[in-house]
């Protein structure tokens, strides 16, 4: 397994922000976490609300927590709301059922981290997450890692 360096994480964030500005999305908060769920790097654009760090962090943490992106968690939460409520409480809010949390894989498909983005609607947040990962030569997994 390779590991995600600070330079990798910073580049992924900057690429995701470039995608957001090109698409004229709302101001974003972007967190990149290591496989243990610990923050490597974070940026919050001017104008993003004060809860955006926690939401972005939770999308990434929940992706690592379950082993799949937060899009999949969103689908499961619609099927089984009670279980998601429990996960929310168990994780102290760090499992956020909204798109924008995406796993970062290396070329052997090992999970080497996760990105979480909040600020626009979840679908737009996810577009930026995937763009940031792929532009830096990593593999983005927004669903179940097969």
Residue numbers at the binding site for a copy of itself (CB under 8 A): 1, 3, 5-6, 10, 34-55, 58, 62, 64-67, 74, 77-78, 80-98
Cβ of residue 96: shortest distance to a copy of itself, in angstroms? 5
Residue 100 or 130: the one with the smaller Cβ distance to a copy of itself is 100
Question: Minimum CB separation from a copy of itself for residue 106, in Å?
Answer: 12
Nearer Cβ to a copy of itself (91/135): 91
Residue 134 beta carbon to a copy of itself: minimum distance, rounded to whole angstroms: 22
Q: Spell out the SS3 assignment of the chain.
A: CCCCCHHHHHHHHHHHHHHHHHCCCCCCEEEEECCCCCEEEEEECCCCCCCHHHHHHHHHHHHHHHCECHHHHHHHHHHCHHHHHHHHHHCCCCCCCCCCEEEEECCCCCEEEEEEEECCCHHHHHHHHHHHHHHCCCEEECCECC
**Based on CB atoms, which residue is closest to a copy of itself, 88 or 135?**
88
Nearer to a copy of itself, 68 or 131 (CB): 68
């Amino acid at each position: 397994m390779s590991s995600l360096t600070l330079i990798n994480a910073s580049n992924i964030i900057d690429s995701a922000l470039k995608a957001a500005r090109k698409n004229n999305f709302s101001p974003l908060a972007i967190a990149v976490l290591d496989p243990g769920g610990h923050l490597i790097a974070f940026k919050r654009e001017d104008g993003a609300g004060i809860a955006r760090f926690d939401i972005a962090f939770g999308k990434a943490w929940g992706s690592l927590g379950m082993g799949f992106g937060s899009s999949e968690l969103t689908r499961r939460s619609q099927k089984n709301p009670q279980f998601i409520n429990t996960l929310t409480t168990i994780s102290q809010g760090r499992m956020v059922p909204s798109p924008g949390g995406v796993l970062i894989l290396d070329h052997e498909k090992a999970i080497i981290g996760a990105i979480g983005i909040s600020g626009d609607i979840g679908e737009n947040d996810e577009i930026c997450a995937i763009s940031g990962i792929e532009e830096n030569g990593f593999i983005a997994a927004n669903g179940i890692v097969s």
